[in-house]
Amino acid sequence: MRNIFALLIFVFMPRPALIFIFGESMALLIPDLVCKTVYEIPIKYFTDKGIRLLLLDIDNTLVTYDDEYPTEENKKWFKLVADNGIDIVFISNNKEDRVKKYAEKTGYCYYAGASKPRIKYYREAMRKRKLEPNQCAAVGDQIFTDVLAAHFAGCPAVFVYPIKDKQSVFFKLKRKLEIPFLALYLHRNKK
């Protein structure tokens, strides 16, 4: 009961109060860019920053949990990314067999069971390619895993809205908790 009360306070607390309480650590949870889908991310956003590697989430970022393989749209986007000299690596919290099945069809490397926001595999992917964090960008659909991990790793974090969410109570709750951070992004980027 006490947890639910704390959660309600967090969700409904005015934004300035949240910033006052959580201070700088809040910034870790605010995406650097928010787009509806990966296809709407301007490729210029990456090329202007000198990005050489995308650290990509799979589930709900590129395909739904039900899609086993990359879609034609995915493949076209990967080609656009590659044509701009940017490499790709998939970093997913999902199981090995799911991630392997998807990634193998693309020819790109992958890390499954990543336990994001843990950044072990972000670091490993960068180290293998001899890249610095500012040469990499992460793309994902969850604030508390993808965005947080990107920032822990020192990379810009692009948030895309989930394609089709799971309907579990846990997921619905998680989405509610993300709202303040998306609101802060919008507030920060208000023209």
Binding site for Mg ion (CB under 5 A): 57, 59-60, 141
Q: In the bound complex, what is the minimum distance in angstroms from residue 27's beta carbon to Mg ion?
A: 21
At how many degrees (to 10) do helices 15-22 and 169-188 cross? 90
Closest distance of CB 79 from Mg ion, Å: 22
Distance (Å, rounded) from C-alpha 29 to C-alpha 18?
12
Could you tell me the smallest distance in angstroms from the CB atom of residue 116 to Mg ion?
9
Residue carrying the six token digits 């799979």:
58
For residue 60, the minimal CB distance to Mg ion (Å) is 4
DSSP 8-state code for residue 86: -
Which CB atom, from 60 or from 106, has the smaller least distance to Mg ion?
A: 60
- Give the angle 166-172-178 at the CA atoms, nearest 5°: 115
Q: How far apart are CA 155 and CA 32, in angstroms?
A: 10
User: What are the residues facing 136 on neighbouring strands?
Assistant: 53
Q: Nearer to Mg ion by C-beta: 123 or 174?
A: 174
Pick the closer one to Mg ion by CB: 141 or 178.
141
- With beta carbons less than 8 A apart as the criterion, state whether 152 and 171 touch: no
**Shortest CB 150 distance to Mg ion, Å:** 13
Cβ-based nearer residue to Mg ion, 18 or 102: 102
∠ CA 80-182-156 to the nearest 5 degrees?
45
> Is the CB of 98 or the CB of 123 nearer to Mg ion?
98
Nearer to Mg ion, 156 or 162 (CB): 162
Backbone angles phi, psi at 171, to 5 degrees: -65, -40
Cβ(102)–Cβ(69) below 8 Å: yes
To Mg ion, the closest distance from the beta carbon of 92 in angstroms equals: 7
